Amino acid sequence: MPVESIFPRLEPVLPRVQKPIQYVGGELNSQIKDWDEAEVRWALMYPDAYEVGLPNQGVQILYEILNEREGVLAERTYSVWPDLEAIMREQRIPQFTVDAHRPVAAFDVLGVSFSTELGYTNLLTALDLAGIPLEAADRGEDHPIVLAGGHAAFNPEPIADFLDAAVLGDGEEIALAITEVIREWKAEGRPGGRDELLMRLARSGGVYVPKFFDVTYLPDGRIQRVAPNRPGVPWRVDKHTVMDLDQWPYPKKPLVPLAETVHERFSVEIFRGCTRGCRFCQAGMITRPVRERSITTIGDMVDTGLKESGFQEVGLLSLSSADHSEIGDVAKGLADRYEGTNTSLSLPSTRVDAFNITLANEFSRGGRRSGLTFAPEGGSERMRKVINKMVTEDDLIRTVTTAYENGWRQVKLYFMCGLPTEEDEDVLAIADMAKRVIQAGRDATGRRDIRCTVSIGGFVPKPHTPFQWAAQCDHETVDRRLRALRDALRRDKEYGRSIGLRYHDGQPSIVEGLLSRGDRRVGRIIRAVWEDGGRFDGWSEHFSYERWTACADKALAGEPVDLDWYTVRERDEVEVLPWDHLDAGLDREWLWQDWQDAVDETEVEDCRWTPCYDCGVCPTMGTEIQIGPTGRKLLPLSVV
Amino acid sequence: MPEGPAPAPVIQRLRVRYAKRGRLRFTSHRDISRAVERAVRRAGIPVAFSAGFTPHPKISYTGAAATGVASEAEYLEIGLTETRDPARVRADLDAALPDGLDIVDVVAAGQAKTSALADRLEASEWRVRLDGVRETDAAGAVAAFLDAPTIEVERLTKKGRRRFDVRAAVSALEVETLAPEPDRRAAEAADVPCAILRMVVRHTTPAVRPDDILTGLRQVADPAPPSPPLVTRLAQGPLDAVTGELADPLELDRGTRPGRETVPPSGDDAVTARGPAPTQSDPAAGADVAGARS
Ligand code: SF4
């Protein structure tokens, strides 16, 4: 069946919407494959605005890997802003891909990548605009398989009713495996319809099909049991781990948008996983173990990526980039190679360590200086022990002193508020730390124009972390502590004006907490919020806390649970958690022990350099830590 | 803060005419400048950088057509640290830009005695397609417009709401009776009437844009187009007061440099003073109608 472009209908309305360029496609390195020649067709969605979604690495990698395969086609779709949504409804224009402007409903799979839970309402908008029934149960043979991936898919229960399937972990290999299953099933003439296809996917234990699991509840509202409801469906679903990143050097041809996006740079993931063991960090827990990309592959990827894109900035991504075993050589090699070319290099996530200043110096040789950001996360020594962020205040002061001595005038410090066991004075300690930082800068340079910016995020307990059992701090307390911190800084005559403070109020974190640790009953709230007009919940101008609380009250009426039950309630060891049947590899007993250690303010070392402490990932997943050094050096390639 | 080495000086200045066509007319000026910077890097063109904390490539733009407006005649200047053959830069840069942002012409800027490019862009020629408007209605409105001594319109400018005369800036305004083929086909396919306006408008302050002229036309008559009109800038350049024609603003540069850097006066690269007449094979008009790429 020929599938037509909707562009002729879209184009006349584009002059009426904000930033129309985001809907026209045509990015450098985007591709359009022949529809009829493809046997399996993926629509890849990032459920946020184009400017946020386009740079997403996960989507770009899958887009390239799928399109490289013969007989497979992948296109991209993003959330449309409410102005275009209104026009699309009025003119019956369906959710479309930006590549060939094909209707999303015509694809075999709609793969949605959720980095955050706040994209859930946007999923519903896209399904509805696409003409795909919101509830998986209502979908027919011709509708796409709606598949979730990304970090939020490690607990997809709140959107279980809207999904046909979810996958956990690295997408490269499983996306191709799913493609093969679909190809075979279609080639056989779609035996058994949609259900049979989902069964084939579920049987492997590598794809979670929510409808093949039943959830039962205890009278008090806790989950009694989550169990497969069909023979052949395994009790647990495993996450996927790509072991050799050098085999998957993507993106090779990064997408270069015409529209302005949040990251205007070429990003290379230098390793995956993190074993530092910060207890609040879901990404660190669910992406274990550490797998490094080799220095030579990194060098080659940077070279091709820059040539293919024309970007002026390279970001070396990972959860803690300075931890790469050969980061010194990577930094020096790249700085040498691009010296004098106005190419800037950045390490977005770094730990508090004087070594990073050496790296930052290498990176700013080209003339450009990106800011220096450090993340002590907790204001007091005690707090940092609880969260296992092993850095002392003296470490930090030494580091920033080196930074100021090396010419930086401003550093950024990142913290969290609302952490487990937190007291008012833990947050106020942030002010003391910031003051010491300014003083260190003044001492090191003899100047007064030293600045530091303090950014504070609200802590949200996440599944598959030691804090998954913790009570989330209520938003009133968070707001009160942040106000006290702000007042303390404002009052300070000596330092106050040198310290910038950025924070958000606590309400959005509560909703994020509901969606992070929610179970299937939370789906009703999401639907109600969406029906009431909820969109783009990650954007403060669109977010409405009142709408979420009102809808939660209504949707949970008659249930023994409510918003507080999901968020500010502490769980005990035996409670069945909504994601217990989804295996991130972490040993539940180890997580519980780590939670107890947190409360006792006991730290654990990084297993990369110290002995394994049996978190469970490596034996369960048959994986191991993969780090260098390889001992190789970067070749000084000729650059354009 | 350590200072980098002093940036290499500008050895050659290239003046570039480019087009934004089809769906890429939805690019904003900022989108275009980012795309051009990246294309310059991908094409390996030795662009000069400014000094300072965040060096910027030396690329400057003259008054860009608004987002949503197509153009056959936009101009920019690039400062190079080495001499390059303009014809090759034209080909390389065009290949490095996305389809729809197309390089039309590149010449080396003449010596200092020639005037600044921006000063030569005295007026623009525009084509405005009004779907749903009959030619006779458009003609009536145009006649009334041309008869009026002044026509004041109001618009939100950077300096707030302003009223200004649009009539004086208009040096020519007519209904095109022979609509370009693709426009006609589109109109027929959609089964709606379609009028095409062609106008030459002087660059004044505040700028009088095709939109303002349409507002003016609506005031003197009522050709009320149902959807936003499709506007294309066809040419920019010095305005001949006698003939009312626009000349090629790059002509002066062509005359003042040795042959090596001069684009041949004929062949594909040559640009006539009025810009290429839209024909059936005109990619701009074609893309507007065909819309989707596949
Ligand atoms: S199993 Fe051991 S080595 Fe592997 S990530 Fe966990 S603690 Fe580290």
Q: Write the ipTM.
A: 0.86
Are A258 and B4 within 8 A, CB to CB?
no
Q: Are B288 and B264 contacting, i.e. CB atoms less than 8 angstroms apart?
A: no
The answer on pLDDT for B269 being more than 90 is no
Q: Please state, rounded to an integer, the average pLDDT across all residues of chain A.
A: 93
pLDDT of amino acid A83: 97
CB environment A330-353: b (16+ within 10 A), e (fewer): bbbbbbebbbeebbbbbbebbbbb
Provide mean pLDDT across the span A74-86. Answer: 98
Provide mean pLDDT across the span B92-109. Answer: 95
Interface of B with A in 255-294 (CB under 8 A): 291-294
With a pLDDT cut of 90, the percent of chain B lying above it is 55
Dist CA B75 CA B160 (whole Å): 28
B24/A contact by beta carbon, under 8 A: yes
A7, A101, A258: residue with CB nearest B35 = A258
Residues 6+ apart with CB under 8 A from A636: A333, A336, A337
| Residue pLDDT, tens place only, A161-193 | 999 999 999 999 999 999 999 999 999 999 999
pLDDT of amino acid B84: 96
Asked if residue A241 has its Cβ within 6 Å of ligand 1, the reply is no
pLDDT of amino acid A161: 98
A31/B contact by beta carbon, under 8 A: no
Are B42 and A24 within 8 A, CB to CB?
no
| Residue pLDDT, tens place only, A287-304 | 999 999 999 999 999 999
Provide mean pLDDT across the span B169-186. Answer: 77
Dist CA B287 CA B293 (whole Å): 8
Residues 6+ apart with CB under 8 A from B128: B196, B197, B198, B199, B210, B213, B214, B229, B230, B231, B232
Cα A381 to ligand 1 centre (Å): 26
Provide mean pLDDT across the span B177-187. Answer: 63
**Nearest chain B alpha carbon to A306:** B42
Cα A545 to ligand 1 centre (Å): 39
Provide mean pLDDT across the span B120-139. Answer: 91
Shortest distance, CA B27 to any CA of chain A (angstroms): 6
Dist CA A120 CA A229 (whole Å): 26
> What's chain A's Rg over C-alpha atoms?
25
Closest CA to A478 of A536, A426, A553, A403: A426
pLDDT of amino acid A607: 87
The answer on pLDDT for B281 being more than 80 is no
**φ/ψ of residue B163, rounded to 5:** -110, 135
Asked if residue A590 has its Cβ within 6 Å of ligand 1, the reply is no
**Mutation target among A258, A361, A362 for the B interface, most CBs of B within 10 A:** A258
Asked if residue A612 has its Cβ within 6 Å of ligand 1, the reply is yes
**Shortest-distance Cα residue to atom 3 of ligand 1:** A612
Asked if residue A3 has its Cβ within 6 Å of ligand 1, the reply is no
Q: Hey, how many other C-beta atoms are within 10 angstroms of the C-beta on A504? A: 16
Helical ranges in A340-454 per DSSP H: 354-363, 381-387, 393-405, 424-445
Shortest distance, CA A293 to any CA of chain B (angstroms): 26
**Nearest chain A alpha carbon to B42:** A310
pLDDT higher at B126 or B260: B126
Cα A284 to ligand 1 centre (Å): 12
Shortest distance, CA B34 to any CA of chain A (angstroms): 8
| Residue pLDDT, tens place only, A517-535 | 999 999 999 999 999 999 9
Look up the pTM and report it. Answer: 0.90
Are A8 and B292 within 8 A, CB to CB?
yes
Cα A579 to ligand 1 centre (Å): 21
Q: How confident is the model at residue A628 (pLDDT cuts 50, 70, 90)?
A: confident
